Amino acid sequence: MKFKRVRGVKDILPEEVEKINFVVDICRKTVDTFGFKEVVLPVLEKIELYQHSIGETTDIVEKQMFKIVARAENETETIVLRPEGTAGIVRMFVENNLKDKYPLKRFFYFGPMFRYERPQKARYREFYQFGVEIFAEAPPSSDFLLIKIANIIFEKLNIKVELEINSIGCVNCRKEYIVELKKELKKSNELLCDVCKNRLERNPLRVFDCKTDVDKIAKLSEKVSLQKYICDSCKKNFDDLITILDENKIRYKIVPTLVRGLDYYNGVVFEYKTQLLDAAQNTICAGGRYDRLISELEPQVKYACGLAFGINRIVEILPKYEKKVESIKVGVAVVDERFLLPSFSIINKLLEKKDVQIVGPFSQKSLKAQLRLFNNENCKYVLIVGEEVKESKVVIKNFFDNIQQTIELKDLEKYII
């Protein structure tokens, strides 16, 4: 019987893992420069967390979450696989009282997310995100820091992107705007796709996420512009950010229809897009502010913002990159099991002095089989631990030039070059 992987997920083979590690390593080193600390979020969360934060009328909550079936009759909670990281890190921040534990409230995470979507190129039901979150830092400096970090990372990855940015205002800004938007949408109701007709009453801002009637929605945004309703405070935050971007020569495009598909956003939102993927999947990094969400759950903290990189999509378009210089591979062979313990002592001393990758020992294999294995693993050197070890010596063989000699153990590090 042959088993196949579940639809919408993928097996990540060594070559792709190497690329993922390359991208994530750049992300980690970049955010580390700015004082971010890594956290690990649970894969499982209660469904109410996402209903409250992301919004009950969003596609994620309505259609895309994987629910876990309870194992016991007395378990009444609905548990889901996390569809994104921000809601989870907000819960973690509040539940663990992180506001009092860290002077600099900057965190990052990396891991898989899960959404029940129609699988296609660069869109999977299990996908990886690298997220960056900032708490208790006011706009526009915190917004700029996120954008600066993203720009540095894409520059290091040699990926060309376009930054799209907008302000969706606060709850107060949007009240009057949503009333006017509904009126305009009802006038054009027969022209809307079925999905947008459903969104009209439940969450009208989501029509701007429509992938079917893009041109119609663009014209609609010109008729009823959110920017006309933005309050003075939100307008100042956005204008100040634009000024900082201009002063730092960061290129951007203001897109009035950019709203993001998650209800927790307010104020500044942004996306990084690439021309190397189809329009429906061309966003490879996105983020914005969620001050309202954090202040609801933790009233003493007024500000929060964050972004997430779509690692799978970035890897999909990753240009050629220089492979990380690997440590020297050293095979350790033992003549027989009597020399297994001394071989570990040699390995420990070698690791203290040298950046090497150890292969072996394999005491259950013959010496000939061990040497063949080390050769296949592209080891540069092989240490053969036998009777010589009783005199504090070891046999070393260089597979590259085929030279074999017996040396003093105290001189071993001099020969591993």
Contacts for 406 with CB less than 8 Å, ≥ 6 apart:
388, 393, 394, 395, 396
Share of the chain above pLDDT 90, in %: 53
CATH no., domain 328-415: 3.40.50.800
Q: Is 108 helix (H, G, I), strand (E, B) or coil?
A: strand
If you compute the radius of gyration of the chain from its CA atoms, what whole number of angstroms results?
A: 28
Q: Which residue has the tokens 């969450």?
A: 203
Instruction: Summarize the chain as % helix, strand, coil (round to 5).
Output: 45, 20, 35
pLDDT band at 291 (very low <50, low <70, confident <90, very high): very high
Structure tokens at 289: 């502010």
Least Cα distance to 379 among 410, 358, 353, 408 occurs for 358
pLDDT in tens, 36-54: 999 999 999 998 988 888 8
Of 196 and 125, which is predicted with more confidence? 125
pLDDT in tens, 172-191: 887 888 787 777 777 766 66
Mean pLDDT within 353-366? 85
pLDDT at 299: 93
Contacts for 225 with CB less than 8 Å, ≥ 6 apart:
256
283-86-45 Cα angle (round to 5): 120
Domain range annotation of the chain: 14-170+231-316, 328-415
Q: Lay out the sheet containing 37-38: strands in order across.
A: 37-38, 106-114, 126-135, 304-310, 283-289, 266-273, 162-167, 253-254
Mean pLDDT within 361-385? 90
Asked if residue 290 lies in contact with residue 304, where contact means CB atoms within 8 angstroms, the answer is yes
Angstrom CA distances, 365 to 19, 274, 335, 346, stand at 34, 52, 9, 19
Angstrom CA distances, 126 to 7, 176, 272, 296, stand at 10, 38, 21, 30
Backbone angles phi, psi at 141, to 5 degrees: -60, -40
10 Å CB burial of residue 322 (0-12, 13-18, 19+) is: exposed
Structure tokens at 203: 């969450």
pLDDT at 211: 62
Structure tokens at 215: 């041109």
Of 151 and 362, which is predicted with more confidence? 151
Mean pLDDT within 330-355? 87
155 pLDDT higher than 70? yes
Asked if residue 357 lies in contact with residue 331, where contact means CB atoms within 8 angstroms, the answer is no
pLDDT in tens, 195-246: 777 776 667 776 776 666 666 666 666 667 778 889 999 999 999 999 999 9
283 pLDDT higher than 90? yes
**Range from 157-161, 273-277, 351-355, 391-395 carrying the lowest mean pLDDT:** 351-355
Name residue 404's amino acid. Answer: Q
Other C-beta atoms lying within 10 Å of the C-beta of residue 150 = 24
128 pLDDT higher than 80? yes
Q: What is the dihedral of CA 211, 212, 215, 221, to 10 degrees?
A: -60
Answer yes or no: CATH 3.30.930.10 is held by domain 14-170+231-316: yes
pLDDT band at 303 (very low <50, low <70, confident <90, very high): very high
